[in-house]
Amino acid sequence: MPEVVQSNLQSKMTLYVQKILKSLEVVLRVPPLFVIDEILKNMGSASPIDISLDLAEENDRNVLDYHVIIVALVKFMCGTLGCILAVCVFVLWTNNLVKVYRHLGSVLIIFALYWANVTYVDSILGQQSIMKNQGVDVLHLQPFGLNRFFEFHKSYAVKNIAYWYPILQGVLTTLFSTVYQGPRPPFLLLFMYISPIVLTLSPLPVAITAHTPLMCAIIPLLLIKYVIWVNVTPATQTLYSGYRHVHTMLSNFGMATFVEAEWTRLNVPSVLLTFWIMRVSGHAGLLTMEYLQSGVSTPLPELLHQMAKALLVGGCDTLIAVLGMTSVVSYLCYYLGCLFQWALLAEEDEEKPIGTVSAMLFYVLALQAGLTSCDPEKRLVRLSRNICLLFTALLHFVHNYVHPLLLSLSASHNPALHRHLRALGVAVFIIVFPISLLIFLWSHHELSTWLLAVSAFSVEVIVKVIVSLMIYSLFLLDAYRSTFWEKLDDYVYYIQAFGHVVEFSFGILLFMNSAWVLVFEAGGAVRAVMVGIHAYFNIWCDAQAGWRVFMKRRTAVNKINSLPEASPQQLQALNDVCSICYSEMVSAKITRCNHFFHGVCLRKWLYVQDRCPLCHDILYRVASQEQLSQ
Find the CATH number of the domain harbouring 613: 3.30.40.10
Confidence of residue 140 (pLDDT cuts 50, 70, 90): very low
**95 backbone dihedrals φ, ψ, rounded to 5°:** -65, -40
**How does DSSP classify residue 47?**
P
Confidence of residue 156 (pLDDT cuts 50, 70, 90): very low
Which pTM was predicted? 0.76
What does the pLDDT average to over 193-219? 72
Q: How many C-beta atoms lie closer than 10 Å to residue 386's C-beta?
A: 22
Instruction: Give how many domains the chain has, as a whole number.
Output: 4
> Is 44 among the domain residues?
no
Residue 65 identity (one-letter amino acid): D
> Is 202 among the domain residues?
yes
Is the torsion defined by CA of 589, 591, 596, 597 positive or negative? negative
Encode 47-56: b = buried (16+ Cβ within 10 Å), e = exposed: eeeeeeeeee
Q: What is the DSSP string of 583-594?
A: -B-SS-EE-TT-
* pLDDT, greater one: 27 or 622: 27
Is residue 565 classed as helix, strand or coil in its secondary structure?
strand
When mean pLDDT is compared across 212-226, 256-270, 388-402, 613-627, the lowest value belongs to 613-627
pLDDT at res. 255: 85
Percentage of residues of the chain with pLDDT beyond 90: 13
Is residue 597 classed as helix, strand or coil in its secondary structure?
strand
Contact (Cβ atoms closer than 8 angstroms) between residue 344 and residue 426? yes
Q: Annotate 220-244 with three-state secondary structure.
A: HHHHHHHHHHHCHHHHHHHHHHHHH
Confidence of residue 327 (pLDDT cuts 50, 70, 90): very high
Residue 585 identity (one-letter amino acid): M
pLDDT above 70 (res 151):
no
When mean pLDDT is compared across 91-105, 143-157, 453-467, 599-613, the lowest value belongs to 143-157
Confidence of residue 141 (pLDDT cuts 50, 70, 90): very low
pLDDT above 70 (res 228):
yes
Contact (Cβ atoms closer than 8 angstroms) between residue 492 and residue 471? yes
* pLDDT, greater one: 129 or 141: 129
pLDDT at res. 325: 93
> Is 374 among the domain residues?
yes
pLDDT above 50 (res 529):
yes
pLDDT at res. 201: 65
Q: Are residues 210 and 110 in the same domain?
A: yes
pLDDT at res. 433: 93
Contact (Cβ atoms closer than 8 angstroms) between residue 500 and residue 468? no
pLDDT above 70 (res 305):
yes
Contact (Cβ atoms closer than 8 angstroms) between residue 595 and residue 579? yes
* pLDDT, greater one: 286 or 148: 286
Contact (Cβ atoms closer than 8 angstroms) between residue 426 and residue 473? no
Of 424, 454, 480, the domain-final residue: 480
Q: Are residues 444 and 523 in the same domain?
A: no
Q: Are residues 215 and 130 in the same domain?
A: yes
Confidence of residue 55 (pLDDT cuts 50, 70, 90): very low
pLDDT above 50 (res 627):
no
pLDDT above 50 (res 56):
no
* pLDDT, greater one: 314 or 155: 314
> Is 338 among the domain residues?
yes
Residue 3 identity (one-letter amino acid): E
pLDDT at res. 273: 93
Q: Are residues 354 and 463 in the same domain?
A: yes
What does the pLDDT average to over 44-55? 42
> Is 593 among the domain residues?
yes
**Torsion (CA) 275, 279, 281, 286 in degrees, nearest 10:** 160
Q: Are residues 129 and 249 in the same domain?
A: yes
> Is 574 among the domain residues?
yes
Q: Are residues 558 and 568 in the same domain?
A: no
Of 562, 580, 601, the domain-final residue: 562
Confidence of residue 130 (pLDDT cuts 50, 70, 90): low
pLDDT above 80 (res 57):
no
What does the pLDDT average to over 524-549? 83
Is the torsion defined by CA of 195, 201, 207, 208 positive or negative? negative
pLDDT above 70 (res 372):
yes
pLDDT above 70 (res 474):
yes
When mean pLDDT is compared across 138-142, 170-174, 406-410, the lowest value belongs to 138-142
Summary mean pLDDT of the chain? 79
The CA distance from 516 to 619, in Å, is: 51
What does the pLDDT average to over 491-506? 87
Contact (Cβ atoms closer than 8 angstroms) between residue 52 and residue 61? no
Q: Are residues 469 and 500 in the same domain?
A: no
pLDDT at res. 114: 83
The CA distance from 369 to 388, in Å, is: 13
pLDDT at res. 242: 81
pLDDT at res. 465: 94
> Is 490 among the domain residues?
no
Q: Are residues 533 and 609 in the same domain?
A: no
**Helix, strand, coil share of the chain (percent; to 5):** 80, 0, 20
Contacts of 278 (CB under 8 A, 6+ apart): 30
Confidence of residue 127 (pLDDT cuts 50, 70, 90): low
pLDDT above 60 (res 131):
no
- Owning domain of residue 590: 563-629
pLDDT above 80 (res 134):
no
Q: Are residues 101 and 138 in the same domain?
A: yes
pLDDT above 50 (res 144):
no
Q: Are residues 546 and 572 in the same domain?
A: no
pLDDT at res. 550: 78
What does the pLDDT average to over 398-427? 85
Contacts of 461 (CB under 8 A, 6+ apart): 392, 395, 396, 399, 430, 434
pLDDT above 60 (res 386):
yes
What does the pLDDT average to over 113-141? 62
Alpha-carbon separation of residue 32 from 29, 36, 131, 321, 464 (angstroms) = 6, 6, 49, 13, 45
When mean pLDDT is compared across 11-25, 370-384, 497-511, the lowest value belongs to 11-25
Query: Which range among 112-126, 220-234, 282-296, 391-405 has the greatest average pLDDT?
Result: 391-405
Q: Are residues 251 and 358 in the same domain?
A: no
Q: Are residues 282 and 302 in the same domain?
A: yes
The CA distance from 627 to 610, in Å, is: 18
> Is 194 among the domain residues?
yes
Nearest to 344 by CA among 268, 287, 271, 401: 401
pLDDT at res. 625: 39
